[in-house]
Structure 1
Amino acid sequence: MWLIATLVVYFIARHIAIKLRHPIFNPLLISLIVLMPLVIYTGDTYKHYFDQNKIINFMLGPAVIALAYPLYEQMHVIKKHWKVILIACATASISSMLVGGLFALSTGGSLKIVASVLPKSISTPFALSASEHIGGIPSITAALVVVAGLFGGLVGYPLLNMLKVKSPLARGLSIGAVSHAIGTAKAAETHYQEGAMSSLALVVCGIMTTILAPFVFKLVELLAHYI
């Protein structure tokens, strides 16, 4: 049964991650490396695998809602730095979409692919909504959301440490803005306030990206004539 297999693989992967404490041993990454070949080897389909794991997918909603509690406890920080938070999230949302869209365009991607790439750095519900609205391919967007989250979870903290970024506010916002729920989970494990700021960035960037995606897509579409 795929539900049992998924839970067993994940808990083993999490145990490895706790023991070794290195970004490369991300529980989600290890689970993907094990489960994807296993599904292919057994000749099963992704649809059947997903159907047997619907309960896990359903729990994503309550898990995201639970992130509101740390935010409530950090309300004094949010009130004090709300301008910085909005500017940081707006900058992250726009720059992430532009960089992803222009990269896809410059490597020969069609406008449909560009539309699929634009919302890659926000959580899946936001990303799929934005992708569909601007004419993207939801399945590609969903895959890129996972890639962006894993990449942020793997290199986000090593990069912040290398750049000597110490502020929990800056670190949390940076992680949540570009690697959504996967990065937020890592931030929550690292520092309570960073986890709260990351979950805030996850929501704010998701809303901003959904609103701004059509305008950024139009801009990239105009730039397509010069690339």
Structure 2
Amino acid sequence: MSELLLRLESLAGELPQRTETAIVLTLAAYFAGLRLFAWLRSPAWCPPILLASCLLALWLALLPLDYAGYRQGVEWLTWLLGPATVALGVPLYQQVHHIRALWKPIALTLPPAAMLAAGYAVGIAWLLDAPPRILASLAPKSVTAPIAMGITQELGGSVSLLMGALLITGVMATLGITFMARGWRLEDERVIGFALGVNGHAIGTVRAFEIGPTAGAFASLGMSLTGVFTALWLPLMWHLMA
């Protein structure tokens, strides 16, 4: 690990704005997070993505690479979030017979869940006298990243702040749903998966696929429908209340 850090520092110092630097940092943080997750015996309270994010933040603070340069270097990785989200339609199609059987409870629970996810975050921030830019950054925090970034930009928020809110939301929602399912002895993969997708977006969906293909498909459905529904109602409500 020390040799890797020395190499990263050398590369960052020589080419502070190069895409290669940002890619190496991102991949190194991701694989290091996976190794650390396995070394810690896969704790449910600390998923690999959280470990990788903390490592990356630490490296960016120590290395001579500013955040603007890093973000510019990983733009193409951010773009790949879109195709990766669309690819979740494959397991969704494979489980379509289960989804058709439950379309009524899905249609009834999705709208209030999506509106509550945005409402409580904005409400708490508003009570703490947060400025409109922060409110706009927190509103789409439960939506998958490609859609959330577009919503945030339309509302006039900060994408950087949004990404932090997305990480915290995904991790906390995944942990909360996992522990609640255990406490309530809930074993229906369809319910668990849907809850993970609606509340935990991509991070929750990854956890759902670890449970099983059915949970993963329903998580994909919940994440996708939450994104579409939020993209339709949130900007409209935001501009009406502005």
- Pairwise TM-score range, normalised by the shorter structure: 0.7 to 0.9
2:114 to 82, 88, 93: 93
Structure 1 position 65 matched with structure 2 position 105? no
Change (3 A) 1:217 1:50: closer
Residue 118 of structure 1 aligns to which amino acid in structure 2?
A
The 2-side partners of 1:218 and 1:160 are apart by 37
Structure 1 position 15 matched with structure 2 position 15? no
Segments of structure 2 that go 5 or more residues without pairing to the other structure are: 1-20
2:58 to 33, 37, 61: 37
The 1-side partners of 2:22 and 2:130 are apart by 35
Q: Secondary structure at the match of 1:97?
A: helix
The 1-side partners of 2:192 and 2:225 are apart by 16
Tell me the CA shift for residue 44 of structure 1.
0.9
Structure 1 position 142 matched with structure 2 position 163? yes
Residue 92 of structure 1 aligns to which amino acid in structure 2?
A
| TM-score, structure 1 as length reference | 0.86
Tell me the CA shift for residue 104 of structure 1.
1.0
Equivalent in the alignment of 1:225? none
The 2-side partners of 1:133 and 1:58 are apart by 18
Residue 165 of structure 2 aligns to which amino acid in structure 1?
L
Tell me the CA shift for residue 55 of structure 1.
4.4
Q: Which has the larger radius of gyration?
A: 2
Residue 160 of structure 1 aligns to which amino acid in structure 2?
A
Deviates more, 1:4-13 or 1:92-101: 4-13
Tell me the CA shift for residue 208 of structure 1.
0.7
The 2-side partners of 1:157 and 1:28 are apart by 16
Tell me the CA shift for residue 18 of structure 1.
4.3
Structure 1 position 196 matched with structure 2 position 217? yes
How many residue pairs align between the two structures? 221
Structure 1 position 120 matched with structure 2 position 141? yes
Equivalent in the alignment of 2:26? 6
Cα contact 2:81–2:145 (8 A) shared by 1: no
1:182 to 178, 183, 203: 203
1:129 to 146, 150, 159: 150
The 2-side partners of 1:58 and 1:136 are apart by 19
Segments of structure 1 that go 5 or more residues without pairing to the other structure are: 223-227
The 2-side partners of 1:88 and 1:73 are apart by 22
Tell me the CA shift for residue 164 of structure 1.
2.5
Q: CA RMSD in A?
A: 2.2
| TM-score, structure 2 as length reference | 0.81
Q: Which has the higher contact order (CA 8 A, sep 6+)?
A: 1
The 1-side partners of 2:150 and 2:30 are apart by 28
Q: Residue by residue, what CA displacement relative to the aligned partner does 1:174-201 show, whole Å, maximum 9, x if unpaired?
A: 1111111111111111221111101111
